[in-house]
Structure 1
């Protein structure tokens, strides 16, 4: 998983209930639904006294590019992390758009999942992924990275 942290400025109280609260959360660029499985992405929120997540809070989480939305509940929370139960994941991406591709690689789908295919020879690069976003992340990792 990437080193994603949710910014407190992108977390908004939607409904301040008597016992639980509902929050609208906008994820940072580059975040995918699988990042929500990492409790540490909430560390900045858990250190914000006004926005700290508590057990049973409800979250409506929207991807930075608005291509997905997630309904979730907080099932555990500490000072540095929050564990979510993901209840519903909805793709709001246009179904008319083709899967991502660049000059060298293309994201493909089969009933086993998404995968990256090298266009030159049709070779599958790596294993299957549960979402197009994870396959795109894998595709980008096929290119050399500069290390500073």
Structure 2
């Protein structure tokens, strides 16, 4: 996935077509494991993966980056356009989490696009990670695309 991401960075720099990199993290995942057990924790990971997989386009890259963190590489996508994806994931996760006893499961994300002056995939991931921590520090259940301008709330339905 990282090799594909590096290739997409090269394409974006060469063509001027935007791309966005995002990191997502399931909020309070350790509490889910501690309170409900590792089987339910595994189910939480599957729910997020399924919601994300069904929301991304065929040209996007998505995969587990470590622990409960997930990496998204979104070719031909600005930060603003990526918000539609994040909202789709939120809705899909909201629709399936109650079936598995995870009513309070939420996620946070940080996102950055290449046209912010960042040149490598490694730099983009680092900035997305910093923005992820901004979203977490601002109350979780959010997407941070630009910490100086906006933190977009991703509110999961309780229905």
Structure with the largest fraction of helix? 2
TM-score (norm 2): 0.27
Q: Which has the higher strand share?
A: 1
